[in-house]
Amino acid sequence: MSALRALIVDDNLLIRDIVDRTLKSRGFETVQAVDAEAGIKCVEGRAMPHLAVIDVMLPGKIDGVGLCQFLRSRPDGKDAVIVMITASDKRKEADRSLSAGADILIGKPFSPRQFWIQVDSLLKDRRLRT
């Protein structure tokens, strides 16, 4: 079986690195972007990643919720796991994120272990991992 692929979109380098290391240590191939526009370019003309980790608040014209909607609207986007992350009020962002198609909203800061436990559960639910 080929490696699972993940898209990580956050303007915070530290968060991107934490998520990247966490996923790579579990065998993922990852690609990173600093904003939604760059995230879109990362997936254009390519198969949808199995997992997308997206910050709600991104710089630029499209925020993380808009990117989530874009990814979910792709013909191959319905089966992907989309994890939104936020440093904002989690209750405020939960409705927007989940309505846009996110599977879960995780508040920052988070530990890599806590992050992985939640992501792994979603991947197993989608039968992307055993």
Set out the domains of the chain in order of their start, with CATH numbers: 5-46+56-125 (3.40.50.2300)
**pLDDT score at 128:** 74
- Token pair in block for residue 58: 């991104």
| Angstrom distance (rounded) from CA 72 to CA 83 | 12
Answer positive or negative: Cα dihedral of 55, 14, 116, 114.
Answer: negative
Percentage of the chain surpassing pLDDT 90? 89
Give the pLDDT confidence of 30-81 residue by residue, as tens digits.
999 999 999 999 999 999 999 999 999 999 999 999 999 999 999 999 999 9
**Nearest CA among 82, 91, 102 for reference residue 6:** 82
| 3-class DSSP state of 66 | helix
Q: Using CA atoms, how far apart are residues 76 and 130, in angstroms rounded to an integer?
A: 21
**83: β partners:** 53, 104
Q: What is the mean pLDDT of residues 82-87?
A: 96
pLDDT of residue 22: 98
pLDDT for the residue 1:
55
Alpha carbons 4 and 129: distance in angstroms, whole number: 9
Give the whole-angstrom CA distance, residue 6 versus residue 29.
Answer: 6
Q: What is the pLDDT of residue 91?
A: 80
Q: Residue 52: its pLDDT value, please?
A: 98
Q: What is the largest CA-CA distance in the chain?
A: 39
List 86's β-bridge partners, or say none: 107
The Cα–Cα gap between 123 and 115 comes to 12
